[in-house]
Amino acid sequence: MTWIDFTRRNDPACKQGVDQLKSKLKEHGYPDVLCFWSKNPQGITCLYAKIIKQMQDKGKIVLAQFTINNYGSILEPGIEPDMLDLSGIVKILSPDKIRLRFDPIIPGFTTPAHFKATIQIAQDHGIGRIITNFLVPEYKGVGRLLQDKGIPVKKLTDWDIIKVLDRMFKMLNGTGIDLAVCAETAAFAGGKIKAAACSDPAWAKQFGVKDLSIRPSRKGCGCCYSDDWGQYRSNGGYACPHQCLYCYAK
């Protein structure tokens, strides 16, 4: 069984992404699971509806993870409000094949109101899981870049992280929505927060996909073996149209 992410290296909601996916499908055929990663659900609907239907007709599973932070043009200059419309893709895939990502939490910038807006979007569309993670300021100099733009980035202790996650967990009380976070953070979050798997075999198993072997990248990781059909711009790929200030994939 094969799981393909498309793509964590740039946003596929553009013509270059469509061309890239068509080329990969021609070369490799249809994977058992194709998981879109995007900040533009409306764009995925408009650009990929035909390909998704072809995969579904062949019994393949299409999933999607959409990052919706509600951070605005300061941090996400290439994201327009209408891009965040999930209604089309929910009809094509169904809510149980979609997860939202509130990612990254930026200490000193992210507020409960940002998360509340993402919760509301999930509720409006019947989506049952939100995945979150925290900015790593040291990684690729992102923290320094944000500070140069006048956005302070606070350093969190483990205890600070637990308090933030506990508040988020409480905000979800009564909504029926799960909160998940990457494995290394979930390990000390007290057991209430689920450990997320980016390429989640348990998710695919709900739809009859079997034999996805676990290939953890670190302790506690539950990801299955997967490949990403995207390319970073620095390695011959196209530039993501969103140009978010906090992005690692540049």
* Per-residue model confidence as pLDDT tens digits over 114-164: 999 999 999 999 999 999 999 988 888 899 989 998 998 988 998 999 999
pLDDT digits (tens, 9 = 90+) for 160-187: 999 999 999 999 999 999 999 987 787 7
For 171, the 3-state DSSP assignment is helix
> What's the pLDDT at 193?
83
| Phi, psi for 227 (deg, rounded to 5) | -130, 155
| Residue matched to tokens 């879109």 | 36
CA-CA-CA-CA torsion sign (59, 35, 64, 184): positive
CB-CB contact of 171 with 179 (8 Å): no
CB-CB contact of 99 with 86 (8 Å): no
Terminal alpha carbon distance of the chain: 30
| Phi, psi for 4 (deg, rounded to 5) | -120, 125
Overall average pLDDT of the 25-38 stretch: 97
> What's the pLDDT at 190?
64
Number of C-beta neighbours around residue 196 at 10 A = 26
Burial of 11 (0-12, 13-18, 19+ CB in 10 A): buried
Q: pLDDT tier at 192 (50, 70, 90 boundaries)?
A: confident
Domain segments of the chain as ranges: 3-235
Question: What DSSP designation does 191 have?
Answer: T
CB-CB contact of 21 with 50 (8 Å): no
CB-CB contact of 15 with 45 (8 Å): no
Is the pLDDT higher at 29 or at 187? 29
For 146, the 3-state DSSP assignment is helix
| Phi, psi for 98 (deg, rounded to 5) | -130, 135
Distance CA 115, CA 109 (A): 12
The fold for domain 3-235 equals: TIM Barrel (3.20.20)
Q: How much of the chain, in percent, has pLDDT values that exceed 70?
A: 98
